[in-house]
Amino acid sequence: MLAVLLKLFGPHNLQLAEDVLQDAFSKALQSWATQGVPDNPSAWLVQCSKNRAIDVIRQDKTQRHYAQAYQSQLQSEWTLSHAVSEAFDPSHIGDDQLRMMYLCCQLDLPFEHVLPFLLKALCGLSTLAIARALLLPVETVKKRLSRIKDKVSSMAFSMPNAGEIGEVQSKLNTLCYLMFNEGFHASGKLAVNADLCTDAMALVTLINEHQKLRCKQSASLLTLLHFQFARFAARVDIDGQPIPLDRQNRALWRQDMIQQAMALLHSVEQHPDPGINRYLLEARIASEHCLAGQFDTTNWLNIVQHYGALIALNDSPVARINQAIALAYAGHIQQAIEWVSALQTHRSLQTSHIVPATLAFLHAKAGQKDLANEFVNLAIKRGGTPREQKVLLQHVTELLQQPV
């Protein structure tokens, strides 16, 4: 509804659009409390928003400029109601949401600053809910939203032109990928984190349904998100803390969603575009985990190969670390140690706790107690959360007690 109101009013009237939407929800709270929830709450809210928009325009039409495409229609009493009703036509709403996403893609700001606006504008979260989801002070969220609104006010609410499609496809997918990860990798028991994931999946679905914006990359991303979300219920403990993959209860994995993901993966593999993208490779890695009945039966050599392809595409040091871990689980521990040791001088990892923590794990897996403890101490010295440090110590201790 906010996307539709922005289309009518124009981004420069974002506050007005939010006020109209807020009025609709306020009336719903009052009406539904006494008369009960209607059979179709969404339709009720849409109609209320339409009526309120018409009232506001009637009051201010000589004092306010609206979206250029609707300005003349909204100025005339003869066409006002028809224009508002036409704007709220369900067949247009998907495009309006994509316009909102495109608007977010154009913001030249770090993603963590754009995310609160994305959650408010596209997911309907309140400022308080956003603060809770992102573990940020409410005032910080308010400041970021205010800064975004200032930038949005001068931007066009439109779809990308033909020459921008390739770049926009990539940006939209990145936006949704980061949004999903924000929910998937967050600690805590907040249900809103699962909502972030499902909202991101819904937006990727929207992209895949659009004739001009869908592509192999977006189809690959949708596949990956299905594989990831299938494991959502098993990835945190009762306290909301992450559970390592080897300790997850696989009975909690959603087999229906894994089957959907496998069908999507098959479809992507048959795509006429022969190109490979990071989401497809990550989906292939995720599929290996989902197909394994137990952690120990995972096809680690396949995962090593997929990570090799991912590294060839985008040489990420984190991908190299994950590849080395997979290699160790495949039985080649010493080679894995050599690979990770070579990353100690990587410029982006020199002060990070990730490399020593990985080496502590690998040396413990190899039964090399002194080296394992040495790297545990280095990892703790470099940082990581207290929870990460505790899990590392526990994992290394358990590995050292096992026969090599």
State which H helix or E strand residue 322 sits in: helix 317-329
Using left for φ > 0, alpha for ψ between -120 and 50, and beta otherwise, residue 89 falls in: beta
Phi and psi at 237, nearest 5°, equal -90, -175
What pLDDT, on a 0 to 100 scale, did the predictor assign at position 190? 60
The percent helix, strand, coil of the chain (3-state, each to 5) is 75, 0, 25
* Closest C-alpha to 99, from 7, 205, 162: 7
- Which stretches of 270-330 are assigned E, i.e. beta strand? none
**Six-digit token pair at 41?**
């709450």
If you ran DSSP here, which 8-state letter would residue 144 be given? H
* Closest C-alpha to 288, from 277, 305, 300: 300
What pLDDT, on a 0 to 100 scale, did the predictor assign at position 220? 98
3-state SS class at 242:
strand
Place of tokens 């590849």: 323
For all residues of the chain together, what is the average pLDDT? 91
Query: 358-368 pLDDT, tens per residue?
Result: 999 999 999 99
What pLDDT, on a 0 to 100 scale, did the predictor assign at position 94? 87
Q: Give the model's confidence band at 250: pLDDT under 50 very low, under 70 low, under 90 confident, else very high.
A: very high
Query: 124-183 pLDDT, tens per residue?
Result: 888 888 888 787 899 999 999 999 988 988 888 888 888 888 888 998 999 999 889 888
Q: Which residues pair with 236 in a beta bridge?
A: 242
Q: Which string of DSSP letters, residue by residue, matches 90-152?
A: HHHHHHHHHHHHHHHHT--S-HHHHHHHHHHHHH---HHHHHHHHT--HHHHHHHHHHHHHHH
**Six-digit token pair at 293?**
């009945």
* Closest C-alpha to 189, from 262, 133, 244: 133
Alpha-carbon distance 14 to 21, whole Å? 11
Query: 43-76 pLDDT, tens per residue?
Result: 999 999 999 999 999 987 667 888 888 888 888 8
The domain ranges of the chain are 1-88, 93-234
Q: Which string of DSSP letters, residue by residue, matches 193-231?
A: HHHHHHHHHHHHHHHHHSTTT--HHHHHHHHHHHHHHTT
Instruction: Tell me whether residue 46 is exposed, middle or buried, using C-beta atoms within 10 angstroms of its C-beta: 0 to 12, 13 to 18, 19 or more.
Output: middle
3-state SS class at 236:
strand
